[in-house]
Structure 1
Amino acid sequence: MKRSSSNLKKALIILGTIAGVIALAFGGYAFYLYKSITDTASHIHEPIDRGSSDKRAEQINTSSQDPISFLLLGVDERPGDRGRSDTMVVITVNPKKESMIMFSIPRDTRTEIIGRGSEDKINHAYAFGGSQMSVETVENFLDIPIDYYVKVNMEAFKEIVDAVGGVTVDNKLAFKSGGYQFSEGSVDLDGDAALAYSRMRKGDPKGDLGRNERQQQIIKAIIKKGASPKMITKFNDVLGTLETNVKTNLTFDEMKAIQKNYRAALGNTEQFEVKGSGTKINGIYYYIVSDEEKNEITAKLKEHLEID
């Protein structure tokens, strides 16, 4: 249960950073907010080498509303230990279609780790080579380009949810978890309640799949809340959380362009699950995704990204 709780926290943290990134652009209306935002954007900026990617024929242009993709990494980093990306969420955004696709890659998925020359659990890529290796491994696994990554430390979870003033979700299953009673229907959650809501797994008939659905509910709620103009009053809290817990290859100019040109896509989100089966190889548990399943996902994403 402790491991599950940690992993779910990280899953919820990740996409919360997109809410913060989108919210950044609203601060341009006043100088003091603009200065704070640019300082934070500079502090969290951590570029990676994209020259090795062969998944795109041309450079994307956010000002022209080219479809883009994100890899959101939830990591557990401690002093002297890089940690692992126990949560990996892929998002593709097509502003012309005004749609977004979002799904999680199970952390135990067995695949080739690019740069290691061997197969392993996909979340080990971060332990071996950080964000760079994670991006390249996911690109290889899905056969699509990953344009941007956002890495969030697990410590940001409660702060992100609380910084945006809590979130509201539509709960499909009444249950108890972490000392909270969650009824069916609309539920308001603060940081602690969001964690409890998301980590429940054993009491859900759908198991991990149900847990993943609740993770994505909160992710969407954070994005929606973070993109609201009302967030201007909460920027100090959001920026403080981002600065200490987030890294991304997004530049400030790209953040502004995404806020301006891609916001309409946030209201139409398609979610799905990566289907597979669990097995043990040499005594180690792996999640095996068939080539047929991967090909179906790749075709869906390439169409959404408008890649031939």
Structure 2
Amino acid sequence: MEATLMPPTETASPARQAFLDLRGYLSEQVLGQAALVERLLVALLADGHLLVEGPPGLAKTRAVKALAHGLEVDFQRVQFTPDMLPADLTGSEIFRPEEGAFRFQRGPLFHNLILADEINRAPAKVQSALLEAMAEHQISVGAASHALPRLFLVMATQNPIEQEGTYPLPEAQLDRFMLHTRVDYPDRATTLRIMALARTEARDARELPPPPRRLAQETVFAARREVLALTLAEPVAEYIAALVEATRRPEPYSAQLAEWLRWGASPRAAIAMERGARALAWLDGRDFVTPDDVQSIAPDVLRHRLLLDYGAQARGIGAQACIDELLRQVPAP
């Protein structure tokens, strides 16, 4: 199926043109991380959450700050630490002497965009509180539940280098992240551009320049409706289902996969793959989804959802090798 790009200025909807402007702004502020910028927009369009893994200093924090700068939203960064408590995220009941009663004081989760920095440094109780927020768009304190904002996105980061004082994320929480994106070092030319940008920001008190316009939340919701209205042909839907099924029952597709995989992806992975592929097609200006869209988003959808056999791990085989084999063996329409 051949993809035809829609001219961005003449036929793009107002919502899509606004997202194209936002992508241009993010690309100017986050140099050398085009994949991260794209995945942030995909997560926003698909109403999902994003886990970003990479060494320090690769603009992970800057990316989500720039996104918040380009939207009419509230932003909160939370630095996760081993001594953190659930109330540090959710808030707690505070006694008001003047009222003689307890009142709920909202925590940082009640913002639209949350940067969960070094999420794997927080203990299990804190992870549980975040899991409820990501899964249910609400938090529970005592016997009461409190709804979170309608537009709610968590971008979590973790450092693959330092393992001391970290807690592995439970599989249930990993499954709540729509995408797991890895970022790497930029090339030399991009590093020179980053240095020039840093000199400019030093003169401007390290503030991000204003975007051409800030997207209203209603524009985001309108874009989401357009994404869900895209055509998804039955063969492409079958392809998504086959990819996810092959992670659970790989024997008909590949003996290697059957040897490597211990546990496959949940139905939530199929939903994430479909919505991510729709978002990519919409950003490219198409009104239909292609197998290429599915193959492009599949690694970030599956990377954190596959559990490998101990023998495969001992031989240095990672999730990416499994995904590459999966995409080779499952026939595309």
- TM-score grouping bracket, smaller chain normalisation: under 0.3
Higher relative contact order at CA 8 Å, sep ≥6: structure 1 or structure 2?
A: 1
TM-score, length of structure 1 as denominator length: 0.28
TM-score, length of structure 2 as denominator length: 0.26
